[in-house]
Structure 1
Amino acid sequence: MESTGQTVMGETTLKLPKLTPPARFRPPKSNLPQTPEERSEILQQVRAYIAEHQPVPPMPMEDIKVHADRLVASLGCDPVYRDFIGVLMNNEMWRDSLAAIPYERRLLLLPKCLRVESKCPAPFDEFGLLCKQCGLCSIQDLQNEAERLGYAVLVAEGSAIVMSLIQTGKIEAIVGVSCLSVLERAFPYMEAAAVPGVAIPLLQDDCIDTTVDLDWIWDYIHLTSEDKSLRLDLGALREEVDFCFTPASLALIMGEAQGQTEELAREWLMRAGKRWRPFLTASVVQSLVETSQDGWSEDLKRICVAVECFHKASLIHDDIEDEDDQRYGEQTLHAS
């Protein structure tokens, strides 16, 4: 937080910001190591295990539990810590991937229960809590630092919001804070999306005035590497692919339609659809070239259109065979 100044009789006096008060001590839940020292020691053991075995993410939860059980047995620690160790293992598997992703392509997801609920003045909107920078909890400092680095920050719970952000293509990695039970429920979504993600477990799960190892969050949000490799802007790539199927673009790629049959085919090609096949084709090509400009050539546009032509043709055959009369909310080609 920055200091603010006031001028009194020609002299500037400093007004220092309020320090964030330390959170009152609360013992961790029984399925977590009880001291920071014990948690840090287990983290070091997890890092050594991952370095030795080099498992590859994304890994199914059941496989992570197998590895966690092995480490629990090796360390001779309480088996109740297995889920905690599993979370740390998943974090370490994704660590290098997270470090290679620019800050501005990451999301920091914080839970609202880090606030002092009885005193918090922050309102909520459809996306979550809107921090008022009151200085009563750690949310403001974490949010301010993450946003300074370039992160998107949400103070909210719920996998739906996160998945919608992932699907925009603008978020490529997530640093999240939550209790173990919520992390377990969210894991299938993260695994399915194959998005690098690390999770710092809350030390309580009662959803009010919770605490967390703040230094762990601080370390993860600052994690970076010297990797400067090209990263695709999937949102922009999606727009480029969609533009290929506009009337003007198709005319440039395929020439003007000749006759009614070609006009019908062209109109069908422009109809709605997710266009996953040309999108994936363009993604592969652009991931193999040195710059995105090198990859987006006229030839690539033609290939994308050709791929979609084959797909649309297969849909026409499917609709005829299945006697369907609706596609994309409109009449199918043979029924129109």
Structure 2
Amino acid sequence: MISENIWEQLIFTIGEIAIILVIGFFLFSLIVVGISFYSIKKGRFYFPSLVKSGIVMTEGMAKGICKFFGLDDKELTAFSINLHNTMNQTAFSNVLPEKRAIFLPQCLRNSACPANLTPEGLICRRCGRCEIGAHIDVLEKMGYKIWIAPGSTLIKRMVKKYKPEAVIGVGCIVEVREGLELLDKINLVGMGVVTLKDGCVETLLNWHDLMDVAVLGIEEEIQG
């Protein structure tokens, strides 16, 4: 009888702890979402370290809260990317351009692109059908190593082979988020640039957004 009472008390205690943890997790998610959208509204990052960790920890629930209140969870993801970029800006600026890499998605190219696929990605032939070639020329003169990637497998392989110290990843919002998470796991400084249009063919990129990131830490050299 005594053992049964102890067992029932143990189950009851575990249940109480579980409920408290769920409520705490929900409240923490709510706080993260609240701070995130307040930051978006004000155009300023509040408690960046807390929010960045919170978004990673509570992503699923945070998105659920966004949907419940009729908010666009893509906006939350875009905010987390901007927050990530802001927190990495100083570290990225301290890396020499010769030790930086840029990965462009193949979907930016023209549908009639004549580029050849090689073990190191697509090799741009500067045909002029899209803007990739002209921008690669500018970025390579700055010292960047650039790849046009057909997928994440190539990115992992090139990072392992060439060992860049900082990476700019370009892609749709989901690809950029996943890429930044991957770079965090392998302790590489990552910056993300999101395309203006999603899709598999002839997507759009604001090249000024990419160049604004690319020149970080080397603006004076370019102006000189």
Corresponding residue for residue 179 of structure 2: 186
Structure 2 CA distance for aligned equivalents of residues 63 and 104 of structure 1: 34
Residue type matched to 1:95 in 2? Answer: Q
Q: Which residue of 2 aligns with 1:158?
A: 151
**Aligned match of 2:123:** 130
**Superposition RMSD on alpha carbons, in Å?**
3.2
Q: Counterpart of 1:53 in structure 2: which amino acid?
A: F
What is the TM-score with the length of structure 1 in the denominator?
A: 0.46
Match of 1:101 among 73, 95, 104: 95
1:121, 1:92 → 2: CA distance? 37
Contact 1:64 1:90 in 2 (8 A): no
Deviations 1:280-300 (A, max 9, x none): xxxxxxxxxxxxxxxxxxxxx
The structure 1 residue matched to 2:214, chosen from 221, 233, 240, is 221
Change in CA separation of 1:124 and 1:167 when aligned onto 2, cut-off 3 Å:
closer
Unaligned runs of 5+ in 2: 1-39, 220-224
Give me the TM-score of the superposition, normalised by structure 2: 0.66
Structure scoring higher RCO (CA < 8 A, sep ≥ 6) equals 2
Within 2, Cα distance between the matches of 1:43 and 1:136? 39
Instruction: Quote how far apart the aligned CAs of 1:59 are.
Output: 4.9
Deviations 1:267-308 (A, max 9, x none): xxxxxxxxxxxxxxxxxxxxxxxxxxxxxxxxxxxxxxxxxx
Aligned residues: 175
Deviation at 1:60, TM superposition (A): 7.6
The aligned amino acid for 1:200 is V
Higher Cα Rg, which structure: 1
Contact 2:122–2:150, Cα closer than 8 Å, also in 1 = no
- Alpha carbons of 1:85 and 1:54: their partners in 2 closer, same or farther (altered >3 Å)? closer
Partner of 2:49, secondary structure, is: coil
Question: 1:196 and 1:184, CA in 2 relative to 1: closer, same or farther beyond 3 A?
Answer: same
- The answer (yes or no) to whether the contact 1:103–1:150 under 8 Å persists in 2 is yes
User: What is the CA distance between 1:58 and its match in structure 2?
Assistant: 8.6
Task: Name the aligned partner's letter for residue 103 of structure 2.
Answer: L
Q: Counterpart of 1:133 in structure 2: which amino acid?
A: R
Q: 2:167 aligns with which of 174, 188, 192?
A: 174
Q: Distance in 2 between matches of 1:223 and 1:57?
A: 24
Q: Please identify which structure carries the higher helix content.
A: 2
Once the two structures are TM-superposed, the CA of residue 134 in structure 1 deviates from its matched residue by 1.4
Return the letter of the residue paired with 1:182: E
